[in-house]
């Protein structure tokens, strides 16, 4: 699609303007010569994509365009813009700079509170963040996540600058480890929020050395999330690691994450932190907002690649990101509840409805009385006799229920309609266990002494995993594992996990195990030191629980 071209048309000018024309031609010639050097479009990147909930077919893309000096380009006039989503071509509906869009930004600040930062460095970070938060615009929102030994939400999305500043000032470098990958995953989850008052533009802001310690997530997990649901990461790399090779390795990893996400990476030092944060803020704002329409796109919840091409007639620049076509966010219910039995498209019964009140209609069946009321002469006495007989029987056979206060056992209230069942693992259910599938379960070491090692077990009813030799799956010579670490068991066709260690609690995808937690294939299970990826094979029904 060709964007509006604002090139002037050729016109004849009066002779009295000849001098002005010469000056104009000289300026134009200068721009033609200097343009490729000072402002030619060199590259562009898709920073973020989103579906707009106020339109079933509207797609928004945030694009950063850079010139030969790696500076933002503030014009795109005369460019050809084409885009596709999966197999569908998109039509450009609007193009404007971010500042002209009058949008806000939903910032997610990830604050490293590990001892990898000195007290002085952390105070400089606090000062820079507090200055940023003090200048938030009315439409902006911000949330604060702190990560060290664990990742936790300090402040949810708000535009209360004072609350945000107080939350940051209360933090400090206190923790011994850095669950960086877990913090990123939590940040991505926040970025997927669809609250009505949240801006569409999202940005994760983080300053760290790029090293992850003790997280339940791996780098591959973070990259997989970025591939399917990318959120731009704007990272400042600041490291105190003594080994130059190790320091460079983690900073390059941080650069890789920021680049793959559609964000940007900045080298940090203690004497330019304020400038680094200012550069991030400019990078977040220095984007173009492109709105497309796709009437044929189906918001089916699947991810498709949004491919964007930008051409100036000689060169074609291209970039793409995955976009998940989420259904529009559900609006809050405003009406009352349907009456019992009322279906969609049906009127709920109303007491003042003539049809419901027994008015005469043409559809009344023939009876003893032409007005349809003849059945009352014999129906009412019969109903009264039946009701009286039931009351007499009930008084003779029912037992009074005594008050329960002070009783050692609850009163007898009659037979139980449903039977309780207990599986061999001690789980009580209210329905008969379904046939159990014989599953082959593979445990692949992600973190430990032997990364890549695979353990295979056959899971019927339950399996015990730990370092003890009597376990169904013996974890050999791995740190941070208890003699009996956790148990896998099947119930109602699903696989569940139960933590068995108080000393080294079992984590599932970086979070503590719930009392009765269902596992998904590819889940990450383990401790702070040892993690396995659990993969389910195909099962076949072989027995009953």
What beta strand segments (E) does 384-514 contain? 421-422, 428-429, 435-447, 454-459, 462-466, 473-474, 486-491, 494-499, 507-508, 511-512
Residue 201 is encoded by which pair of tokens? 């533009």
Q: What is the pLDDT of residue 538?
A: 61
Q: What is the pLDDT of residue 430?
A: 45
What beta strand segments (E) does 302-434 contain? 303-311, 316-324, 421-422, 428-429
Q: What is the pLDDT of residue 425?
A: 45
Tell me the β-bridge partners of 106: 141, 202
Summarised one tens digit per residue, pLDDT across range 424-441 is 445 454 444 455 567 889
**Percent of the chain whose pLDDT exceeds 70:** 70
Q: What is the pLDDT of residue 387?
A: 54
Please count the other Cβ atoms lying within 10 Å of the Cβ belonging to residue 221: 21
Asked if residue 531 lies in contact with residue 218, where contact means CB atoms within 8 angstroms, the answer is: yes
Residue 330 is encoded by which pair of tokens? 């559900």
* pTM of this structure: 0.57
Q: What is the pLDDT of residue 367?
A: 41
CA atoms within 13 A on the CB side of 364: 16
Please count the other Cβ atoms lying within 10 Å of the Cβ belonging to residue 473: 18
Residue 221 is encoded by which pair of tokens? 């997990």
SS3 495: strand
Q: Give me the mean pLDDT over the 336-351 stretch.
A: 35
Helices 180-191, 219-228: inter-axial angle, 10-degree rounding: 20
Which range has the worst mean pLDDT, 217-221, 234-238, 250-254? 217-221
Q: What is the pLDDT of residue 154?
A: 93
- Kind plus residue range of the DSSP H or E element containing 284: helix 273-285
- Mean pLDDT score of the chain, rounded to an integer? 75
Helices 119-134, 161-169: inter-axial angle, 10-degree rounding: 180
Q: What is the pLDDT of residue 352?
A: 40
Q: What is the pLDDT of residue 439?
A: 80
Q: Is the pLDDT of residue 16 over 50?
A: no
Q: What is the pLDDT of residue 40?
A: 67
CA atoms within 13 A on the CB side of 453: 14
**Percent of the chain whose pLDDT exceeds 90:** 33
Please count the other Cβ atoms lying within 10 Å of the Cβ belonging to residue 289: 20
- Kind plus residue range of the DSSP H or E element containing 206: strand 201-208
Residue 329 is encoded by which pair of tokens? 């966010």
Q: Which domains does the chain have, with CATH numbers?
A: 38-327 (3.40.50.410), 428-544 (2.60.200.20)
Q: What is the pLDDT of residue 386?
A: 55
Q: What is the CA 494 to chain-centroid distance, rounded?
A: 24
Residue 385 Cα distances to 128, 132, 301, 390, 397, angstroms: 85, 81, 60, 9, 19
Q: What is the CA 305 to chain-centroid distance, rounded?
A: 18
Biggest CA-to-CA distance, the chain: 120
Rounded Cα–Cα distance for residues 121 and 271 (Å): 10
Residue 130 Cα distances to 107, 175, 187, 233, 252, angstroms: 13, 21, 20, 20, 28
Residue 88 is encoded by which pair of tokens? 């569908």
Q: What is the pLDDT of residue 172?
A: 93
Rounded Cα–Cα distance for residues 491 and 459 (Å): 12
Q: Is the pLDDT of residue 346 over 80?
A: no
Residue 537 is encoded by which pair of tokens? 């094979």
Summarised one tens digit per residue, pLDDT across range 91-135 is 999 888 898 888 999 999 999 999 888 898 899 999 999 989 988
């Amino acid at each position: 699609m060709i964007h509006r071209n604002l090139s002037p048309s050729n016109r004849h000018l009066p002779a009295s303007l000849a001098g002005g024309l010469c000056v104009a031609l000289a300026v134009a010639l200068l721009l033609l010569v200097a343009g490729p050097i000072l402002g030619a479009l060199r590259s562009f990147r898709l920073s973020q994509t989103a579906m707009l909930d106020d339109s079933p077919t509207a797609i928004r893309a945030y694009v950063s365009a850079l010139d030969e000096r790696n500076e933002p380009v503030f014009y795109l006039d005369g460019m050809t813009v084409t885009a596709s989503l999966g197999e569908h071509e998109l039509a450009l509906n609007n193009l404007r700079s971010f500042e002209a869009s009058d949008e806000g930004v939903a910032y997610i600040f990830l604050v490293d509170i590990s001892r990898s930062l000195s007290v002085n460095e952390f105070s400089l970070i606090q000062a820079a963040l507090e200055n940023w938060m003090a200048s938030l615009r009315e439409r902006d929102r911000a949330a604060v996540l702190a990560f060290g030994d664990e990742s936790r939400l300090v402040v949810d999305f708000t535009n209360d600058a004072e609350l945000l500043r107080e939350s940051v000032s209360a933090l400090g470098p206190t923790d011994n480890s850095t669950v960086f990958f877990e913090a990123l995953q939590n940040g991505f989850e926040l970025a997927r929020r669809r609250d009505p008052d949240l801006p569409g533009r999202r940005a994760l802001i983080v300053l760290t050395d790029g090293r992850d310690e003790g997280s339940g997530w791996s780098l591959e997990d973070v990259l997989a999330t970025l591939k399917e649901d990318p959120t731009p990461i704007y990272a400042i790399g600041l490291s105190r690691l003594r080994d130059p090779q190790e320091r460079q390795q983690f900073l390059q990893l941080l650069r890789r994450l920021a680049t793959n996400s559609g964000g940007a990476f900045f080298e940090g030092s203690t004497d330019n932190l304020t400038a680094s944060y200012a550069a991030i803020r400019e990078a977040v704002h220095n984007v173009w907002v492109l709105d497309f329409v796709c009437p044929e796109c189906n918001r089916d919840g699947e991810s498709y690649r949004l491919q964007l091409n930008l051409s100036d007639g000689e060169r074609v620049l291209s970039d793409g990101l995955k976009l998940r076509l989420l259904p529009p966010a559900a609006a809050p219910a405003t009406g009352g509840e349907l009456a019992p039995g009322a279906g969609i498209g049906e009127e709920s019964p109303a007491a003042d409805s003539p049809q419901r009140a027994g008015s005469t209609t043409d559809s009344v069946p023939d009876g003893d009385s032409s007005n349809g009321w003849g059945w009352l002469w014999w129906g009412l006495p019969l109903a009264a006799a039946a009701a009286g007989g039931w009351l007499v029987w009930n008084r003779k056979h029912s037992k009074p229920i005594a008050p329960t206060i002070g009783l050692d056992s609850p009163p007898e209230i009659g037979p139980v309609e449903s039977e309780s069942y207990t599986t061999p693992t001690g789980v009580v259910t209210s329905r008969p266990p379904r046939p159990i599938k014989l599953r082959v379960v593979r445990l692949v070491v992600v973190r430990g002494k032997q990364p890549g090692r695979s353990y295979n077990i056959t899971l019927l009813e339950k399996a015990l995993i730990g370092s003890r030799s009597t376990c169904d799956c013996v974890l050999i010579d791995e740190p941070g594992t208890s003699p009996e670490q956790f148990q896998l068991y099947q119930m109602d066709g699903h696989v569940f996990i139960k933590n068995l260690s108080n000393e080294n609690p079992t984590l599932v995808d970086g979070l503590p195990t719930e009392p009765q937690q269902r596992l998904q294939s590819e889940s990450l299970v383990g401790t702070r030191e040892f993690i396995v990826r659990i993969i389910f094979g195909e099962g076949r029904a072989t027995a009953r629980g």
